[in-house]
Structure 1
Amino acid sequence: MKSQIYTVLSLLVVLLLVVSIFQPLALTYPYGETSESYSIAHESTVAFDRTAEAMNISTTDPTSVSNLSPYAQQTFQQVKDQPQVGVGWQRIGGVVVCNDELLFCDKPTEPPEFPIDAEDTAADSFNKFSVIEDDGEVYILRHGFGLRLISDAAFASFIEFLVKFVLFGSYATFLSYAIVSHRKTHPQTVFSFAGYGVGLIVVSYAYPYAVMLYPYSPKHISLLYLTAALLLLYKVVDKRRELKRGNSS
């Protein structure tokens, strides 16, 4: 009876491993970069004059930066801190946002919103323009996105799925083999394999929150999880040797 309970619970772990392959919260990186880029031009620059004229933008009634959301203010200041290039544009790429499927996160899940004073929908970058006032000075803010960044995000999602498929799929296959071959002769050992599978699942769902809380870079986090995976692999191999010794005796 006890061995049957072990078998049922082990099969449940196999099911959870398979489900985790398709679960977006397992082994996901918590942050992403928006496809939008942000540029500003100060009223003293050529870029400001050319853009205002080309887009027929009225600059007499700007939106005060203090009326923007905190994240929009932060983004505006981040762009303002960049050096001017060319005819006067200051620019950053996408901004960091959180995966909106996480239970909690330390960054916004949506990109900053700015008032729209003009749009250039004919362009490939789908630019939108805002007139912003900061400390008595006027800026034109340009924000838009390109298709290349969207395709990059799709590629990153595919790689994430591939990693989960190899990790969870291989362990689910191994555990299934252990259940079929050794559930009657070594039920406790098979159940211990299932326990390692539960540990793997818990660690994978904890990964995005560990990235948020761990004070070092994602590379350090990845190294930590790789070390844990290698330790798990060593333990599994050791248990398999134990099974073989038990079958030969």
Structure 2
Amino acid sequence: MIPRLFLVVVGLLGVTTIVNGQVDVHLGVTTAFNATFVLDDGLSQAPRYRPQQTFKWAPIGFNAGIDLSRGFGLSLESILAKQGQIYDIINVADQVVGQRNIQYECLQLPLLMRFMSKGNSGVRGNFNLGPQLSILTRASEIIQYSASTQTFPKGATLPAGATDVTSHPDGSVTATVPAQSPKELASKETESFKNAEFQIAAAVGMDIDLARHFYLTVQARGNYSVTDLRNSDAIEALKQGKSSDVFGKRANLTAGVQMGLHFVFGSTRSFKYKGAKN
């Protein structure tokens, strides 16, 4: 579903084209493959967690842009993206005994300033930077592990049924805990997360002219959240020690490769230049 804001911007770009024929307007579709990270200070300090390298596919995105000059333009995108990370749960023998699976699905709306090389070559460089609004469509956080002896950080509440509890000088605690069947710690349905978060998005790559009206983009791309996606109640529960975790700021980070195919109203730059020479 293309959001109304995206359609409004497309309409405005079309009006701009009519008013000023010197600008270039383009529409496109994109796809991306990303490494995704949930940067949680609390989980990273807990000896029982070890982050996995997690990859996600952003299957479809839409792009509307306007090149105001040969070197500068603006673009608005609508991207269905999946984010999150899996944390392995390890025992005192450094063996994996379970997982904590954090999954998000977002509709990302980046508004990017687009800085382009000014030449007429069929391959040109670009750099993009701007704010991004991510609207949460799905979210879940699920934990499970087998009966094992684990180390909990200072301030954490031990799971029910913990035995053989041993305290350490640094405040951490080792305990043998019973098996935990898959348990949902948080979800969008239980309003454990905010409906949206703000991020900063950036990309660097190339525009490659394919034909008179089409060009391909290939970019290295990333975004980083500047707000915590968890709601205030979930954060307060952590601060009050009502879970086996300790509070730490959480942020989402993605880094990957994005490709897009774009249609230009008029013609692509290298073909326009060739036409002007003839």
TM range (shorter): under 0.3
Larger RCO: Structure 1 or Structure 2 (Cα < 8 Å, ≥ 6 residues apart)? 1
| Larger CA Rg, structure 1 vs 2 | 1
Q: TM-score, normalised by structure 1?
A: 0.28
With structure 2 as the length reference, what TM-score do the two structures score? 0.26
